Chains A and B, each alone.
Chain A
Amino acid sequence: MYKMNLLFLLVFIPQNVVAEDYPNDAGNAIIIRWSFPDSLLPYVRAFQIWRKEEGGEFRLRGVSITNSFLDDSTEDGKPYYYKVATVLKDGRIFESDISGPAVSSAQWFHTGRWNALILGVIFSFLILWYIRRAKRGEKLFLRRIPGLDAVDEAVGRSTEMGRPVLFVLGLGYISDIPTIAGLSILSRVAKKAAEYETPVLVPCYDPVVMTAAQETVKQAYAEAGRPDLYNEKNIFYLTSDQFGYAAGVDGIMLRERPGAVFLQGYFFAESLILAETGYSIGAIQIAGTSAITQLPFFIAACDYTLIGEEMFVASTYLSREPVMLGSIKGEDFAKIILMILIVIGVICACIGGKFLKFIEFFSSA
């Protein structure tokens, strides 16, 4: 009976303890993994991880409640030995065999990102290739985007009504691509507004975006030959609070009653609050965002909506610069490649077996 109990207790010893360099990192880290039956976990308080250097003694490095532990305090190139101890709820401890030596090191390439590298190189090549072709003077077709065609019309309508234009850049920061795309559209709107002598109001959520918007509008007024009309106070900071910003912009809409409202940038739950208030004052509204959860709101409440990527091509579409057009063409070809990859992926998933590796390759990050 006593022997049976002893044998039973052996199952609490962590098995297959493996200590190895943590992959794809900047070094100074060793990962320790072990196996332990899930059915026995209710009896376990924690696992202790003990570490020893060459010729030294074991010291407690940390505890874990899962089957792995990341030791991120190692010295690269130095060998370490590990053992794992199971601490039961009744206080009994069962130690594993020693694993090691394990040596940490930094890697020069992240092996899990081959897929991103390959696709990134192909896409960049395509974009650069078409930019080169466009530079040579090749004619490239770009389909009509009604939302961008309506920009001049909206500013013109605002001018006829004797009302200002309101441009909202959303809650994005200057590091967000939608905000940069919004600034490109602002440049065009401000230039047109300067030609028509119509003020442009830009309430900002972020002070850095405000500074960039001020520079954009100032340059647009200068390009339109009307630097005298530029008023820095029309591009102002409101607040960095989401609903405070929504309330502030709504207030401006109701007091100033702009003839045209542009909602261009990254938006969250405040999108419909802004768009519906714009609708209620009868302004022509052109929205654009890459936030897919907000797109339905804009489509429902605005006259025109730039859907996702349409917003990113705004500066190209409006400027018609051939070099920029080339990048759009390259993007379209990248899309064709992705479609082909998706079809191959579907076929591989249907066949299964070794073909699943194709999907695994593209799904790892």
Chain B
Amino acid sequence: MRREVPLVITFVTGIVIIIGLFVPHKPFGEIQQTFLKWYVIIAGFTLLLGIDSLVITHWGKIKRRQPGFGYSVVLIASLAFTLILGIYSIIKYGSAFDVRAPFMYLYMHVILPLSATMFSLLAFFIASAAYRAFRARNVDAALLLVAGILVMLGRVPLGSMLYSKMPQIADWIMDVPQMAAKRGLLIGIALGQIAMSLRVILGIERTYLR
């Protein structure tokens, strides 16, 4: 029974959503949106589960004085501080997202710069990964190296200075061989998703239920 009920719910939900794709008439046409609204409501409550997990995990580390427990202290303190600022902003300004609210100040001057810092690290990671990928150890890597260099040269003014048709070469690589490979992958992914969805709807694929 513990298995059968979720399987029946999955089957009925899947079939109803597929019908909704082809039948615009009420109630089928709107059912997908209705299910999405339900999901958003449920997901909102599950955030409490997430916070519960976060606090329990880090509180345990602090209690046991595990190595690196200082990070957990910072995390719990930041969580509490953000929560307090959010509540204060709602009381004072009616919304935590008001531009004058201290919660937004924290978002604009702490969270955004931190995110931007992480994102900017990507440039260095790309350089190190590209160095390894572009080492011409075999024919495939050599092809990648040549194509990569041509595309990079075609995208900067230096490329057209060296050879006027460099941008066209770069565009051709992107529009023809690159696009062909990409579309091949996309077709495979779409079919894989259809097959996996069918397996889930029919209850053949049950890993997610366990």
Chain A residues within 8 Å of B, Cβ to Cβ: 24-27, 106-110, 113, 116-117, 120, 123-124, 127-128, 131, 173-175, 177, 180-181, 183-184, 187, 204, 206-208, 210-212, 215-216, 218-220, 233, 236-238, 240-244, 246-247, 251, 255, 269-270, 272-273, 275-276, 279, 290, 292, 295-297, 299-301, 307-309, 311-313, 315, 323-324, 327-328, 330-331, 334-335, 338
* CB pair A110 B23 closer than 8 Å: yes
Q: Which residue of B lies closest to A255 (CB)?
A: B68
Using known A-B contacts A25-B29, A187-B210, A292-B185, determine if residue A273 contacts B195 with beta carbons closer than 8 Å.
no
* CB pair B43 A312 closer than 8 Å: no
List residues of chain A with CB within 8 A of the CB of B29. 25-26, 106
B204, CB-defined interface residue at 8 Å: yes
A228 to B132, CA, bound (A): 43
Of the candidates A110, A206, A247, A328, which one forms a contact with B21 in the assembled complex, judged by CB atoms under 8 Å apart?
Answer: A110
* CB pair B191 A335 closer than 8 Å: yes
A329 to chain B, nearest CB (A): 10
* CB pair B208 A183 closer than 8 Å: yes
Using known A-B contacts A216-B207, A292-B182, A327-B199, determine if residue A113 contacts B22 with beta carbons closer than 8 Å.
yes
B180 to chain A, nearest CB (A): 11
A172 to chain B, nearest CB (A): 12
A363 to B188, CA, bound (A): 18
A276 to B46, CA, bound (A): 31
A309 to B186, CA, bound (A): 9
* CB pair A312 B195 closer than 8 Å: yes
* CB pair B121 A273 closer than 8 Å: yes
Residues from 9 to 53 in B contacting A, C-beta threshold 8 Å: 18, 21-26, 29-30, 39, 42-43, 46-51, 53
Supply 25 A–B pairs (Cβ within 8 Å), ascending by A: A108-B24, A109-B22, A110-B24, A116-B22, A120-B18, A123-B194, A175-B39, A183-B208, A207-B49, A208-B46, A210-B49, A211-B49, A233-B60, A243-B114, A244-B111, A255-B67, A273-B118, A275-B129, A290-B192, A297-B129, A300-B133, A301-B129, A328-B195, A335-B187, A338-B187
B8, CB-defined interface residue at 8 Å: no
B138, CB-defined interface residue at 8 Å: no
* CB pair B210 A216 closer than 8 Å: yes
List residues of chain A with CB within 8 A of the CB of B132. 300-301
What 1/0 mask marks residues of chain B from 127 to 144 whose CB sits below 8 Å from any chain A CB? 011101100000000000
Residues from 161 to 179 in B contacting A, C-beta threshold 8 Å: none
* CB pair B133 A299 closer than 8 Å: yes
Using known A-B contacts A106-B25, A183-B208, determine if residue A127 contacts B185 with beta carbons closer than 8 Å.
no
Using known A-B contacts A236-B54, A238-B54, A251-B71, determine if residue A331 contacts B195 with beta carbons closer than 8 Å.
yes
| Chain B interface helix/strand/loop/mixed | helix
* CB pair B185 A295 closer than 8 Å: yes
A82 to chain B, nearest CB (A): 23
A42 to chain B, nearest CB (A): 35
List residues of chain A with CB within 8 A of the CB of B205. 180, 184, 315, 324
B160, CB-defined interface residue at 8 Å: no
Of the candidates A116, A220, A246, which one forms a contact with B118 in the assembled complex, judged by CB atoms under 8 Å apart?
Answer: A246
A173 to B189, CA, bound (A): 17
A214 to B87, CA, bound (A): 31
B101, CB-defined interface residue at 8 Å: no
A297 to B128, CA, bound (A): 11
A27 to B30, CA, bound (A): 11
Residues from 85 to 130 in B contacting A, C-beta threshold 8 Å: 111, 114-115, 118-119, 121-122, 125-126, 128-130
* CB pair B129 A123 closer than 8 Å: no
List residues of chain A with CB within 8 A of the CB of B68. 255
List residues of chain A with CB within 8 A of the CB of B130. 300
A218 to B20, CA, bound (A): 35
* CB pair B129 A26 closer than 8 Å: no
A295 to B51, CA, bound (A): 32
A96 to B54, CA, bound (A): 64
A38 to chain B, nearest CB (A): 30
A177 to B67, CA, bound (A): 37
With A110-B23, A127-B198 given, can you name 11 additional A-B contacts, CB distance below 8 Å? Answer: A106-B25, A106-B29, A108-B25, A109-B24, A123-B191, A207-B49, A243-B114, A244-B114, A276-B125, A327-B195, A334-B194
